[in-house]
Structure 1
Amino acid sequence: MKAKKILFIVIGFLLPLSLLAQTKVSGIVKDETKQPLAYASVYFKNSSEGIITNELGKFYLESKSSYDTLVISLTGYEDILIPLSSRTTLDMNIQMKEDNLMEELKIYTGKTSKKNNPALDILRKIWENKKKNGLYKFDQYKYDKYEKVEFDMNSIDSAFMKKRIFKGMEFIFDHVDTSSVTGKTYLPIFINEQASEVYGDNKLNRKKELIKGNKNSGFNDNQHIKAFINDLYVEYNIYNNYLKFFDKDFVSPLSRTGINVYNYVLADSTYIDNKWCYNIIFYPRRKGELTFKGDFWVNDSTWAIKKINMTASKGANINWVKDIYIEQEFNVLNDSVFLLTKDHMMTDFSIRNKEDSKGIYGKRTTYFSNHKFDVKKPEGFYTSEVNTFNQDIMNRSDEFWNTYRYEPLTTEEIGIYKMLDSLQTNKTFKSYMNLGTVLASGYWQIGNFDYGPIFSSFGFNDVEGTRIRVGGRTYFGQNDPWRLEGYMAYGFKDDQIKYGISGKLMLDKERRLIAFAGNRRDIEQIAASLSPITDVLGRSFASSSLLASGDNSKLSSINLTTAGLEIEPLKNLKLTAAVNYKTLKSGSPTFNLDYYTDIENQVVKGDLKQAEINLSFDYTPGRKTVGYGVDRTDVDFNYARIFVNYGLGVKGMLGSDFDYKKLQLLYRHPILVGGFGRLTPTLEIGKTFGNVPLGLLNVIPGNQSYFIIENAFSQLDYYEFVTDEYAALHLEHNFNGRLFSRIPYLRDLNLREIVGIRGVYGRISDENRALNASNIQYNAPQDDIYYEYFVGIGNIFKCLRIDATWRGNYLDTPNARKFGVKAVFGFHF
């Protein structure tokens, strides 16, 4: 808000220098037995500005206008009118008395009735008219959009400011402010503004945003932090049945299924902007579900939302998030159509959920203006992508921002820009920034060189023994048009040095035409993936399992060279053409890749030389990225992917040993199943045409480590199944705590249930069997589909997932692992 209270803290004393906000109130509401009253309505008299108390009965309300009376209202209790003698009245202790008409209003206390409830009649009218309101009413639309994102450290106090971590940065506390939502003090650490034009076509179901200007300070050149911010603040429509926040499906209070999870109360009615509106309060029926509490105002003729405020339920199963607050405002167009004009979302991130714990506010405020309708654009306008980085967008003048800002920055916000710019030159702050970058990216930046990935510096396998690795890449910024990367590794057991080097160069920024080349000589578990790894320096986790079950010596020595071109002619569609050349041989004395070279099966060869021409199609609809350089960072991984690869082996080319053709397909599509978690199906299909040895066949990926590896079969050993044609399906469903939230005590642990099944069918031809001279016996799951199923518990200590997996068949296979437990660490909301 424009009106804020600026605080300076000096030697532990709080000195308010100005009180710019017109009216501030806070307190706690209780009943006659001193018990807190949740969901009581708190608002300024004769206004639509209000809030409801949280589960602890607490509230904080701030307004830019002056008011002299505060109203506390809760169905079943007498209204309380509190005179406000000053602009700031904090920490009030308010006691409500039961209404004499309590019996008549009984249906609205606790769980409200689903019958004879006027609030539900209004809700049904909203459902009937939601497709007739807003942007849905028109075939095409266009509007201007201004967005401001800010991150702040909150709960700043004198003890916090005296910590040694801030030594040399004390000047930042000159910019401490107070939240208009929670009343807590906070210190801005990041601010970003973006102005854009948005076009949409409801008939084509297309949308495109053209960025006109971007201005930021704080972490302005950190690709991973920007990706994190973009992932946090996805677009949503309150009329949808489910709203996606932090990779979770929240039930919207306007959902058709809302009756089953929300209580609704018709609380008030009044004129807002000359339109008669009803006020409805909503709050969850049960604890632990992904729901909100709050209220909305709805017009009595169009049944369109005029204003809505909502806060996520305290018991929602989300890590690191203490509060989510959302506010949306709508204006009337031509006396009938309500258009969204303001969208504000604030998240309180904290490691602990205690009321006084310190954390970070993430705030996004978006304004929408200058709407135009039924201006048709050609379909190619929406499918084309603006891929180029335009430095002018990042360097817009003050005159530009004065034109595009819906409301001007306050004096405090202007000061924040200056403070954050100064902070970038502070040595202490830069040290903390470097540490945060290492944790996010895995690289340690030294000048224009990134050392890493740090987490790959140490490994172990049966062939190399203990393995150490050093490497890095060039890094001048997130939009680098070229990049070199390399590493060296050494195994203490095999006493061999390994290395890899690669480079990329962007030839055409508009279409993202990139040339690439590289070479790698290393020890690898080549049977760890069905779909090809496109990164020449890529190395599977299975190649260096710190802990493994059974024999983990079936590793190969590979010398791989690649060169090619990739282009992105359409948004999220990447086409690649490459030539690969590799030599392959066993990396272990107990394992070999031998094959016969003659019809009589008398001559055996143990190494392989092969050149292959690769053409690939990689389509990722819905994928969002940050950066415009040769390497981009994904905003999230919840997009569909269709990957098709065609490989052509040419005998004699560069001394190659075999002719063959290989066709492979991968399809993956995470699906949020409204309110019931996420289903992730992954399908892999492939066939090799021609006679080839073990090193070129399709080995069904087993997993002998004690960790979960994506798209690998947990109960299969390496090389247990070998095929030349295959079809594999992985189904995994994460309920995100939906089931555990119904179980008392267990719901407080915020655990998450995972179930799944994996299956694969494959065949191996007699001709390929005849080539085999290795010590691996060819078996394929062609008599029965091999399958395994698993159940898991995630979010243990907020970072651990454990799966228990059962092998479904082929139980008579020698040394078959019938049951296993695997784990994986990760941080997820």
Structure 2
Amino acid sequence: MKPYHYLIAFLFFSSFLLGQTKVGGKVTDEFGDPVAFANVVFKDSKEGVITDENGDFYFESDKDYTALVVTFVGFSREEVPLKKGLNANLKIVLKEGTELKEVVVYTGKTSKKDNPALDILRKIWERKRKNGLYMFDQYKYDKYEKVEFDMNTLDSAFMNSKIFKGMEFIFDNIDTSRITGKTYLPIFINESLSEVYGDNVLKKKKEILKANKNSGFGDGDGVNTFIKDLYAEYDIYNNYLKFFDKDFVSPLSRTGINVYNYVLSDSTFIDNKWCYNIVFYPRRKNELTFKGDFWVNDSTFAIKKINLEASKSANINWVKEIYIEQEFDVLNDSVFLLKRDYMMSDFSFSKKEESKGVYGKRTTVVKNHQFDIPKDEKFYREEVNFYDNAVFDKPNEFWEQNRFESLNNNEAGIYKMLDTLGTVPKFKRIYNLASILGSGYVEFPQYNLDFGPIFSTFGYNDVEGVRIRAGGRTYFGPNDKWRIQGYGAYGFNDDKFKYGISGKWMVNPKNRLILSLGNRRDVEQIGVSLTTSNDVLGRSFASSSLFSSGINNKLTSINLTTLGAEMEVFKNFMIQTNLTYRTLRSASNEFSLDYYTDASQSEIKSEVKQSELNLVLEYTPGRKTVGYGVDRMEVDNNYARFFLSYSNGLKGVLNSDFNYQKLQLFYRQPALIGGFGRLFTTFETGKIFGTVPLGLMGVIPGNQSYFIIENTYNLLDYYDFVADEYASLHFEHHFNGRLFSRVPMLRKLNLREIIGIKGVYGRVSDENKLINASGFEYVAPEDLYWEYHAGVGNIFKILRIDCAWRGSYLDMPNARKFSVKASFGFYF
């Protein structure tokens, strides 16, 4: 921590220093080297922290203390006198211990049998499913949650910046963090009250929102729910704790002894319970681990208190710090229940100490537990899409009476400050710019319209040449029950206008019964996905071939009309049915969809007309979404997906040409592999029963772009393989830097390793070969096509580069045997 940060904190908070003790500084040895993970506590108290990798620390207390005690194994105990208020930039030097015979020093792996900390840890493992809520068949409790975002590391230069001219009043709410000592300005707050029900027998859980209050941005849950879901639920007893799509090893994990050092530091009574204090810290840098300590009861071996702070060198982007505190209450002398959970993250472009960022803080308080009151399984299934306007319209008096802990003065002023800020024109412009970059749409709230997505405005392909596109949608709020959207496009080479329009209406919000209707006339690249979709406004890869390799003229002109209905029968289980009509013809003179219409092969037709009835079952356990309207945003893609589709071609309906049945199955499963990253498995299979032409065949998805596209084959061109029955299997494993973190020269780069292999088998029936009049020879991967790839991600925090090698069909004409592909993205 820089000295002037403490000076700024003092200037802004001199009026609050009475009755507080704030300390910060650095712990080193006699040679000036930092002492990482040293224990720093106020004398005669249990309030303290552990120094970080650089020996730095900061913490504070509402009480007055006169001395600080610093200890670390192998060093003598150091006592530092304190003055009232702020004690900044302390320089504490530890000397090597002179009575080493009385000290057991653990270095390297702390798996010795005589380490008492590990004996206690093993007892925690034995009882971790016998503590807390797991002791009861059913449970219910009330929950209060507060989520807050704050700009941090504010200095005078920042506050005097021209960007804040006319908005200086916002700095009236400035505060200082009790964790880091940095100044911060609250900019967002969301509060919620809910009832939580759980059944350990049925393995079900349900949360009913009773009240919600936000900072004034938006008119429903919307973005606020998305912010809340950045902080996934976690159980410290689990082997891995997931934050920002990363799996951190819990210090209570059975594999913790492989990545942590443990030291038994202290023991005392807490709430009339004798508890042991164990300090833990990571063995190696750059791994997804924590430092901290916990207090554990000596009889139940349940956690009473725990503090975790993510290693500053952890392989995670845009997050400088993650800090967690949990406190547990004692019920009936032996049951330990979570009472309070506090989490703080410091989002920043840089991990340098002086860099500015944004704090994301979540405080959860629970009380009023009830147990063993069963509810039937129907209770956990009903109200799939609960939404009640009254939940978001509680008066201030309600919150003053019902919030579980009071807001401090700065938090209480946020609502008024943000309401005022929303009337400032300059702030509106800044907010609108951020909204455009985040959503891709330009908002026109006075007309309830959004223009976009702007990232699809320009494109190119071999048929249309340069292509421009403009679109929009209705938008009254994040929970709209109906929405109309559409676009128009023009290709300068083919001199043709294209368009798409779609409408959705949620008839029954509770089970999300949605009716939809749409029509699209456009140029499309068929064969970019094995599993078909009837999404009318899905963006076509045809417009993205500006960055592609090889010839890309196998494009199709499509006229698609669809009428559909879908319903979420229970949470994350959806049934959908569609009636579609489409016409297909080649968009290029160099590509043909011709087929024979008679057995003698004397008549040829170039256009396909097809009516189809489609039934889809989709199950996505664990999926989290935002909002209650017809369009919902997914929080992440780290969930299993099971997709089953049955289609029936209706010959003669609207002059439809073919009668057939098509069955398709898609299954995707992410799985954590013992702390060595995450494995993504994708399986697809399908079969067409009946005779169909090329336009209705299954095309094995190639990838002629320079970019990584999920579920495609890197070394196949479009239409290299076709099939009317197929099975495809993809494995891709993300090590998340676990291997590179052990290589000294690569450790600081925070690179991430990816490996994968994929293969597909397919066949084409003789009947489908006989009606082919396109001049295009059907080739099916009957001998199993496969390829493999290896890549490095997190290059400059945004870039991933993969190398791919072909494993079979090496003698095909123009076969690509090797390729390099990339992708860009902002990932934690």
Which range, TM-score by smaller chain? over 0.9
For 1:368-383, what aligned pairs fall within 5 Å after superposition? 368-383=366-381
- Shift in Å, 1:69: 2.7
Counterpart amino acid of 2:50? I
**1:158 aligned residue (156, 159, 166):** 156
Q: Is the 8 A contact 2:186 2:411 kept in 1?
A: no
C-alpha distance after superposition, 1:112-159 (max 9, x if no partner): 453311111111111111111101111111111111010111000100
Partner of 2:333: 335
Is residue 2:757 matched to residue 1:753? no
- Give the Cα separation in 1 of the matches to 2:546 and 2:65: 65
Aligned partner of 1:44 in structure 2 is 42
Change (3 A) 1:414 1:364: same
The worse-fitting range, judged by mean Cα deviation, of 218-227 and 455-464 is 218-227
Match in the other structure for 2:433: 435
> In the superposition, relative to structure 1, how do residues 572 and 643 fare at CA in structure 2: closer, same or farther (>3 Å)?
same
Deviation sequence 1:712-768 (CA, Å, 0-9, x none):
111111111111111111111111111100001211111111000111111110000
CA distance in 2, matches of 1:21, 1:476: 49
Q: Does 1:561 align with 2:572?
A: no
How far apart, CA to CA, are the structure 1 residues paired with 2:384 and 2:264? 47
Q: Which residue of 1 aligns with 2:287?
A: 289
Rate the CA distance shift 1:209–1:698 in 2: closer, same or farther, 3 A.
Answer: same
* TM-score computed with the length of structure 2 as normaliser: 0.97
- Other-structure match for 1:239: 237
Deviation of residue 826 (structure 1)? 1.0
In structure 1, what is the Cα distance between the partners aligned to 2:12 and 2:666?
Answer: 60
Percent identity over the alignment is 65
- Aligned letter for 2:265? A
* Paired letter, 1:767: E
Query: 2:275 touches 2:295 (CA, 8 Å); kept in 1?
Result: yes
The letter of the residue matching 2:818 is F
* Alignment RMSD (CA, Å): 1.8
Q: Tell me the distance in 1 between the aligned counterparts of 2:25 and 2:274.
A: 30
1:489 corresponds in structure 2 to 489
CA–CA separation in structure 2 for the residues paired with 1:499 and 1:16: 63
Aligned-partner Cα distance in 2 for 1:726–1:796:
36
Equivalent residue for 1:3?
Answer: none
Question: How far apart are the structure 2 equivalents of 1:145 and 1:98?
Answer: 48
Q: Once the 2 structures are TM-superposed, how far is the Cα of residue 412 of structure 1 from its aligned partner?
A: 1.9
1:772 aligned residue: 772
What amino acid sits opposite 1:656 in the alignment? S
How far apart are the structure 1 equivalents of 2:39 and 2:6? Answer: 29
Describe how 1:26-41 pairs up with structure 2 within 5 A: 26-41=24-39
- Are 1:688 and 2:688 matched, yes or no? yes
Give the counterpart letter for 2:553 in structure 1: S
In the superposition, relative to structure 1, how do residues 718 and 667 fare at CA in structure 2: closer, same or farther (>3 Å)? same
Question: What is aligned with 1:139?
Answer: 137
1:465 alignment counterpart = 465
| Aligned twin of 1:792 | 791
Q: Match of 1:178?
A: 176
Q: What does residue 259 of structure 1 align with?
A: 257
Aligned in 2, Cα 1:36/1:245: closer, same or farther, shift over 3 Å? same
Question: Is 1:516 matched with 2:516?
Answer: yes
Aligned counterpart, 2:189: 191
Q: Report matched runs for 1:11-410 at 5 Å.
A: 16-19=14-17, 22-102=20-100, 104-105=102-103, 107-109=105-107, 112=110, 114-217=112-215, 219-221=217-219, 225-226=223-224, 228-410=226-408
Task: Name the SS of the counterpart of 1:667 in structure 2.
Answer: strand
Contact 2:74 2:105 in 1 (8 A): no
Give 1:110 shift. Answer: 6.0
User: In structure 1, what residue type is equivalent to 2:351?
Assistant: N
Matched with 2:581 is 581
Name the CA distance, whole Å, in 1 between partners of 2:91 and 2:107: 22
- Where 1:564 maps in the other structure, the secondary structure is strand
- 1:815 maps to 814
Distance 1:109 1:813 in 2: 58
* Secondary structure at the counterpart of residue 775 of structure 1: coil
Partners of 1:231 and 1:212 in 2: how far apart?
18
Contact persistence 1:146–1:404 (CA under 8 A): no
Query: Which deviates the most, 591-600 or 442-451?
Result: 442-451
- How far apart, CA to CA, are the structure 2 residues paired with 1:94 and 1:399? 49
State yes or no: 1:827 paired with 2:826: yes
C-alpha distance 33-159 of structure 1, shift in aligned 2 (>3 A): same
Q: Distance in 2 between matches of 1:486 and 1:20?
A: 61
| Rounded Cα–Cα distance in structure 2 between residues aligned with 1:113 and 1:36 | 25
- CA 1:708/1:362 → structure 2, altered by over 3 Å: closer, same or farther? same
Partner AA of 2:599 in structure 1: I
| Range moving further from structure 2, 112-121 or 343-352 | 112-121
| C-alpha distance after superposition, 1:488-510 (max 9, x if no partner) | 10111111111011111111111
Q: CA deviation at 1:92?
A: 1.4
Residue ranges of structure 2 left out of the alignment (5+ in a row): none
Tell me the CA shift for residue 781 of structure 1. 0.9
Q: Which moved more, 1:481-490 or 1:100-109?
A: 100-109
Corresponding residue for residue 651 of structure 1: 651
Please tell me whether the aligned partners of residues 20 and 84 of structure 2 are also in contact (alpha carbons under 8 angstroms): no
Counterpart code for 2:281: Y
Rounded to whole Å, the distance in 1 between the matches of 2:617 and 2:417 is 47
Code of the aligned partner of 1:162 = N
Q: 2:702·2:716 contact (CA, 8 Å) conserved in 1? A: yes
Does the Cα contact within 8 Å between 2:562 and 2:580 map onto a contact in 1? yes
1:160-216 deviations in whole A, cap 9, x for unaligned?
Answer: 011122122111111110001000000111100111111111111111111111111
Given residue 822 of structure 1, which amino acid in structure 2 is its aligned partner?
K
Q: Following the alignment from structure 1 to structure 2, what is the Cα–Cα distance between the partners of residues 14 and 399?
A: 30
| 1:413-461 Cα distance to aligned partner (Å, 9 max, x none) | 1111211121122221221221222222111112211111111111111
Task: Give the 3-state SS of the residue equivalent to 2:26 in structure 1.
Answer: strand
For 1:581 and 1:120, how far apart are their aligned partners in 2?
Answer: 67
Deviation for aligned residue 1:533: 2.0
Quickly say closer, same or farther: Cα 1:142–1:73, change in 2 above 3 A.
Answer: same
Counterpart contact for 1:223–1:633, Cα < 8 Å? no
> Secondary structure of the residue that 2:398 maps to in structure 1?
helix
In the alignment, what sits opposite 1:806?
Answer: 805
Q: Whole-Å Cα distance in 1 between the matches of residues 316 and 19 of structure 2? A: 33
Q: Partner residue of 1:532?
A: 532
CA distance in 2, matches of 1:675, 1:227: 29
Q: Distance in 1 between matches of 2:361 and 2:19?
A: 19
Corresponding residue SS for 1:38? coil
* Corresponding residue of 1:449: 449
Partner amino acid, structure 2, of 1:811: L
Relative to structure 1, is the Cα distance of residues 113 and 654 closer, same or farther in structure 2, using a 3 angstrom cutoff?
closer
**Contact conserved, 1:9 with 1:173, CA < 8 A, in 2?**
no
Judge which range, 227-236 or 453-462, deviates more. Answer: 227-236
What is aligned with 2:636? Answer: 636
1:183, 1:500 → 2: CA distance?
54
Number of aligned residues: 822
Decide whether the 8 Å contact of 2:136 with 2:200 is kept in 1.
yes
Change (3 A) 1:220 1:29: farther
Task: Tell me if the contact between 2:18 and 2:85 (Cα under 8 Å) persists in the aligned partners.
Answer: no
Residue 7 of structure 1 contacts residue 175 of structure 1 at CA under 8 Å; is this kept in 2? no
- Partners of 1:542 and 1:500 in 2: how far apart? 15
Give the whole-Å Cα distance in 2 for the aligned partners of 1:731 and 1:425: 52
Aligned partner of residue 248 in structure 2, secondary structure:
strand
SS of residue paired to 1:669: strand
Task: Report if aligned partners of 1:567, 1:574 keep a CA contact under 8 Å in 2.
Answer: yes
Distance 1:528 1:398 in 2: 53
Alignment-derived partner of residue 620 in structure 2: 620
Query: TM-score, structure 1 length as denominator?
Result: 0.97
Q: Return the letter of the residue paired with 1:373.
A: F
Determine if contact 2:707/2:822 at 8 Å carries over to the other structure. yes
Is this contact kept in 2: 1:442–1:453, CA < 8 A? yes
CA change 1:758–1:364 in 2 (3 A) is: same
* Secondary structure, aligned partner of 2:547: coil
State the one-letter code of the partner of 1:747. Answer: R
Residue 631 of structure 1, CA deviation: 0.5
SS in 2 for 1:695: helix
Instruction: Report the CA distance shift for 1:9/1:288 in structure 2 as closer, same or farther (over 3 A).
Output: closer
Report the alpha carbon displacement of residue 542 of structure 1 after superposing the two structures with TM: 5.0
